[in-house]
A and B are shown apart, each in its own frame.
Chain A
Amino acid sequence: MKKDQLLDLYHQMVLIRRVEERGAELYQAGKIGGFMHLYIGQEAVSTGLIAAREPRDRVITAYRDHGVAINCGIPANEVMAELLGKATGISKGKGGSMHMASVEKNFWGGHAIVGGHLPIAAGLAVGDQYAKNDNVTICMFGDGATNIGYFHEALNLAKAWGLRVLWVCENNKYGMGTAVERASAVLDIQQKAEGYEMKHSQVDGMDVMKVYEAAKEAMEYVRTNSQPYLLEVITYRYRGHSMGDPERYRKPEEVKKWQENDPIGIFRKHVLEKKTVSAKALDEIDAQVEEEVNAAVEFAETSPEPAPEELFTNVYVE
């Protein structure tokens, strides 16, 4: 990977983290409502994954979507404004934290029903198959989603119909507060693909380069063979499931252990050891992100609320 690309990956990961850290502060201050699920700790997953896509490849994910939105190219301003429910938000303030999307950036949401977007992802691929193009749909979901019926209907259909879907399970060890081993009959989640004779693999999700390489390879397979693929990414979220999670299901030491394996830290160490980029260049990005996030907060806070008549717009197209 070229220097510019490496710096871009770093920039995206730091931006996600800082946007979310500031978001958490604004939530605590009562400026963000509803549910908010932070991606902190998992930044390398969507960053590596989406870096591997062509612009024509579609992305769809669950409700932990701020990072994915940023990776897809939605400006931090519009992400922050959506969190604050403002008219300038990417979903005009009508979606909130869990419902961000951009047709222009080929990002198809932001879906809040666990597993519910998997059949829709299959449908995006049905649309592309019908249009006879070779776009890949990248569908991200958590480990918890692999225990619900939608997952099985969607994977079965994808294999039976030869749909170009890269299924990406972000195994962060917990579905809300229930550990994988307490909820799933199969601990090695990638093996669930075997039930559908679907190709699969597993990758370390704390290392953005490993995710990128695995995603490139998997996408190539999907595109060339017109077959789905299940990629399991092992990762960890540092924060609670959502804001206001008492975290009784895990010990602080466990979180601390994973934080030693921090995706941003690993990346810094990796590129500095290889001397591909300088510490100065990375520090400059840190400073730049700080400004960017300050500007995003300023933009969101000074943006107007949706007009009252927005209540009734977009219920129907016609």
Chain B
Amino acid sequence: MAKITMREAISQAIMEEMDRDPAVFILGEEVGVWGGTYAVTKGFYDKYGPDRIKDTPIAENAIIGAAIGAAMVGQRPIAELMTINFAFSAMDYIVNQAPKLHYMFGGQFQVPMVIRAVGGGGRQLGATHSQTPDAIFAHFPGLKVVSPGTPEDAKGLLKSAIRSNDPILFIEHATMYQVRGEVPDGEYLIPIGKSKVQREGKDITIVTYSKGLELSMKAADELTKEGIEVEVVDLRTLRPLDMEPVLESFKKTNRAVLVEEGWKSYGVGSEVASRIYEEAFDYVDAPIIRIAQKEVPLPYNRALEQAALPQVPDIVAAVKEVLK
């Protein structure tokens, strides 16, 4: 087991798949000569050249539209969106074209495309560059939405995504590229659409993903000191949503806190809470609490921005409230 950063894990996943399959290529803004805005594709341009590392115009419709077309004729493009906030410029392709093409033409077309997008707040980028809008993409059948919280998952899930024949939105968190974690030696894949228990505990279940996992693990560490054993379930994939480990955990603890970085209204937590109430109502011992972003556009000021984002103490307090 090697300990590497999230950035290295993602970079390794892409490089391994590019070495394995010549149909894989990258296109996006500043992915080549610049080396990627978040340096994920640093060195790729020199290694693979301009045919496989395609710098595009700043034109999101062209980027995602072209990736869809190339995927339809048998290539396996990885389209990079510099930030998920730019996905709104290409919304038609992400939610209205790619997820429909296989179904609408009676199964004739396949769109084996990965869209990598960087999301999340906390970097003082202001309201238009700091969003965590994952839930809205997870609303659309036909699209798969993956968002890992550890380097191990990031690498294994991204490799699976690149090999998948369905369109996949792969959301990375802007503040997690330096997060380090153990990664298995040699090649491995992690299946898309499988939630995972990241920490075992008997008292309460936290359901979360991506940045929420980092915060929840810290909260769990603090709560241990007070004798509270938290079980943390990481969704890893938002669509298709795997509720099995969530329900299994909840049936054991009978209590849950749901943690996400996006806004609370109509969010991932709303979906998970509904599913728990629908599928495990008899096991509910206390109201489920959702921890999420305050319902405001994210402000620039550091203190204000942090006040809007979910924090470890919020999770600790919520757990205690549910256990009261």
- The residues of A with any CB-CB pair to B shorter than 8 Å are 58, 89-95, 99-103, 108-111, 113, 116, 118-128, 130-131, 149-150, 153-154, 156-157, 160-161, 313-318
- A120 x B69 contact (CB < 8 A): yes
- A123 x B104 contact (CB < 8 A): no
How many B residues touch A, CB cutoff 8 Å? 43
- A130 x B144 contact (CB < 8 A): no
Most chain A CB inside 10 Å of its own CB: which residue of B68, B105, B107, B112: B105
Provide the residues of chain B in CB contact with A156, threshold 8 Å.
57, 59, 62
Provide the residues of chain A in CB contact with B70, threshold 8 Å.
123-124, 126-127, 130
Q: For the complex, what is the distance from the CA of A157 to the CA of B122, rounded to whole Å?
A: 34
CB of B165 within 8 Å of the partner chain: yes
- B75 x A109 contact (CB < 8 A): no
Task: Pick from A91, A108, A130: contact of B51, CB below 8 A.
Answer: A130
Q: Name B's interface SS.
A: mixed
The answer to whether residues A127 and B103 also contact, given A91-B108, A116-B97, A153-B62 and a CB cut-off of 8 A, is: no
Closest to A152 in B: B59
- A154 x B107 contact (CB < 8 A): no
- B73 x A128 contact (CB < 8 A): yes
Task: Pick from B73, B92, B107, B108: contact of A127, CB below 8 A.
Answer: B73
CB of B164 within 8 Å of the partner chain: yes
Q: For the complex, what is the distance from the CA of A122 to the CA of B69, rounded to whole Å?
A: 7
- A91 x B57 contact (CB < 8 A): no
* 9 pairs, CB–CB < 8 Å, chain A vs chain B: A94-B105, A120-B97, A122-B66, A126-B75, A127-B69, A131-B75, A156-B57, A157-B62, A161-B54
Provide the residues of chain B in CB contact with A131, threshold 8 Å.
73-75
Most chain B CB inside 10 Å of its own CB: which residue of A92, A126, A315: A126
Q: Distance in Å from the Cβ of A174 to the closest Cβ of chain B? A: 23
- B92 x A316 contact (CB < 8 A): no
Q: For the complex, what is the distance from the CA of A51 to the CA of B308, rounded to whole Å?
A: 61
Closest to B142 in A: A315
CB of B8 within 8 Å of the partner chain: no
Q: For the complex, what is the distance from the CA of A149 to the CA of B60, rounded to whole Å?
A: 11
The answer to whether residues A157 and B108 also contact, given A119-B69, A120-B97 and a CB cut-off of 8 A, is: no
Give 1 or 0 for each of B118-161: 1 = CB within 8 Å of chain A CB.
00000000000000000000000110100000000000000000
Task: Pick from A102, A119, A315: contact of B65, CB below 8 A.
Answer: A119
Provide the residues of chain A in CB contact with B65, threshold 8 Å.
116, 118-120, 122-123, 150, 153-154
- The residues of B with any CB-CB pair to A shorter than 8 Å are 25, 27, 51, 54, 56-57, 59, 61-62, 64-75, 77, 92-93, 96-97, 101-110, 112, 141-142, 144, 164-166
- A149 x B61 contact (CB < 8 A): yes
- A127 x B74 contact (CB < 8 A): yes
Closest to B100 in A: A99
The answer to whether residues A126 and B66 also contact, given A95-B104, A99-B104, A157-B57 and a CB cut-off of 8 A, is: yes
- A119 x B106 contact (CB < 8 A): no
- A94 x B106 contact (CB < 8 A): yes
Q: Distance in Å from the Cβ of A121 to the closest Cβ of chain B? A: 6
- B97 x A127 contact (CB < 8 A): no
- A318 x B165 contact (CB < 8 A): yes
Provide the residues of chain B in CB contact with A317, threshold 8 Å.
102, 110, 112, 164-166
Provide the residues of chain A in CB contact with B62, threshold 8 Å.
119, 122, 153-154, 156-157
Q: For the complex, what is the distance from the CA of A122 to the CA of B66, rounded to whole Å?
A: 6
Q: For the complex, what is the distance from the CA of A101 to the CA of B105, rounded to whole Å?
A: 7
**A-B contacts besides A58-B73, A95-B104, A119-B66, 14 pairs, CB < 8 Å:** A99-B104, A111-B97, A119-B61, A119-B69, A126-B77, A127-B71, A127-B75, A130-B75, A153-B57, A156-B59, A156-B62, A157-B56, A157-B57, A316-B102
- A316 x B66 contact (CB < 8 A): no
- A101 x B69 contact (CB < 8 A): no
Q: Distance in Å from the Cβ of A203 to the closest Cβ of chain B? A: 26
Provide the residues of chain A in CB contact with B164, threshold 8 Å.
317-318
The answer to whether residues A113 and B75 also contact, given A101-B109, A125-B69 and a CB cut-off of 8 A, is: no
